[in-house]
Structure 1
């Protein structure tokens, strides 16, 4: 699986962003962070996390 196709779990995103589970789900709920549901599992594509970070950096720079 390539890095672009990698799917991250919520705990992995929590660890990478150093935020709480609730904060990750809030980002998903508000559509700031894209995700997919596989059965009962929520997964975040690695590229979606990268896009989220890039967007936040651009907003902060403006």
Structure 2
């Protein structure tokens, strides 16, 4: 019997720092996007988390906006 690692699945909820890293932006920029309502977050207890789907939606909006111009 071999010890094969379990396949990793992407996180559903990310820390703000992890979400910023996913977008290759800084933490301060990420907080600005959240503050401006451009990226949605959820509260889990006292923690703020970014749904992975919120990053997908943000990227889709960026792409759509750039195609319009």
So what's the TM-score if we normalise by structure 2? 0.76
Which structure shows the higher helix fraction?
A: 1
Greater RCO between the two (CA within 8 Å, min separation 6)?
1
Gaps (5+ residues) in structure 1? none
- 1:24 matched to which residue of 2? 30
Cα deviation code 1:3-55 (max 9, x no counterpart): 6x810111211111111111000000000000012233210011111000000
Structure 2 unpaired stretches of 5+: 1-8
TM-score norm. by structure 1 comes to 0.84
Q: How many pairs align? A: 60
Matched, 1:61 2:67: yes
